[in-house]
A and B are shown apart, each in its own frame.
With several copies, the nearest count.
Chain A
Amino acid sequence: MAWSDVGFGEIAPAVVLERVGAGGHGAVNLFLGVVRDSNEGRPVSGMEYEAYEAMAREQLAAIVAEAERALRGGGRVAAVHRLGDLKVGETSVAVAVSTPHRAAAFEAARRVMEEIKVRLPVWKRERYLDGSPEWLGGQAPPVGAGGDRTREDRHARVGPAGPEA
């Protein structure tokens, strides 16, 4: 069963790995996003993550459910995103996938990360050692129901002189 969470607690890789089990599956892939100590040359002291929490939980649950359904050969997917103040070296996101064969595990974990980067309503602000915190540039999410990628060619965002829908 797909599993996901968005919350303020520390992320333990072992716990995320447990969520995808092991017995029936020969391959496990785990991806961790970690707070870096610099960004474009500026030293970073930490990162602050803000979310539209209720929606982020629903979106992450949808992302892992879609990824698990896409595993034709079977397997399990789990993901967790952390919020709040993180220090350098702490884990902000973890994605784990177990599958019978390794290519599918790599591919699904990569895909979940790509979806998180595009769809999850989460924003991060870096705290620099040499200046005030700054929101980082991000990706404009798609329109329409989560995961309905076929609608991306419609008007993704609303402008002041937006076209008729």
Chain B
Amino acid sequence: MRVSVLLFAIYRELAGTGNLDVSLPERSDVRALLAALRGRGRLSALPAEVSVAVNRQYAEPGTILADGDEVALIPPVSGG
């Protein structure tokens, strides 16, 4: 299956792009996606802990992904 990964702010600059398409085994969870991303060159520098939203909802490490999901890596937020 494929998921669409969105990157913002410092993570976008780290990746050099605002979005990536990632192929994963069926029923992979968020943790597996992050492990796959860390296997790529520039994203190996992702911090030890990363907040994630799946389809615009904050998600948990064990959240199971589905084909076509929109997964966003959320740096510490600083609105206001």
Residue of B nearest to A148 (CB): B58
Report yes or no: A155 in contact with B79, Cβ–Cβ below 8 A: no
Q: What is the bound-complex CA distance between A78 and B59, given in angstroms?
A: 26
- Is there an interface contact between A142 and B9, defined as CB atoms closer than 8 Å? no
Residue of A nearest to B56 (CB): A55
**How far, in whole Å, are A122 and B78 apart by their CA atoms in the complex?**
6
**Across-interface contacts of A141 in B (CB, < 8 A):** 51, 58, 74, 76-77
The residues in B between 16 and 48 inclusive whose CB is less than 8 angstroms from any CB of A are 29-31, 34-35, 38, 48
Residue numbers in B under 8 Å from A157 (CB-CB): 49-52, 61
Q: Are A52 and B8 in contact (CB under 8 A)?
A: yes
CA distance A92 to B80 in the complex (A): 6
**Residues on the B chain within 8 Å of A123, using CB:** 8-10, 75, 77-79
Instruction: Give the Cβ gap from A160 to chain B, nearest Cβ, in Å.
Output: 6
Chain A interface, number of residues (Cβ within 8 angstroms): 48
Q: Which single member of B31, B51, B75 contacts A143 (CB below 8 Å)?
A: B51
A144 neighbours in B (Cβ, 8 Å): 57-60
A52 CB contacts on chain B under 8 angstroms? 6, 8, 53, 56, 72, 74
Residues of A within 8 A of B56 (CB): 52, 54-55, 58
Cβ of A156 within 8 Å of any chain B Cβ, yes or no, is: yes
Given A142-B58, A160-B34, is A121 in contact with B76 using a C-beta cutoff of 8 Å? no
B61 touches A165 (CB 8 A): yes
Contact between B77 and A119 (Cβ–Cβ < 8 Å)?
yes
Q: How far is the CB of A36 from chain B (nearest CB, A)?
A: 12
Residue of B10, B30, B77 with most partner-chain A CB within 10 A: B77
Contacting pair A117 B72 (CB below 8 A) = no
Instruction: Please give, as numbers and ranges, the residues of chain A lying within 8 Å of B10 by CB-CB distance.
Output: 123, 135
Chain A window 50-62, contacts with chain B (Cβ cutoff 8 Å), 1 for yes, 0 for no: 1110111010000
A33 nearest CB neighbor, chain B only: B80
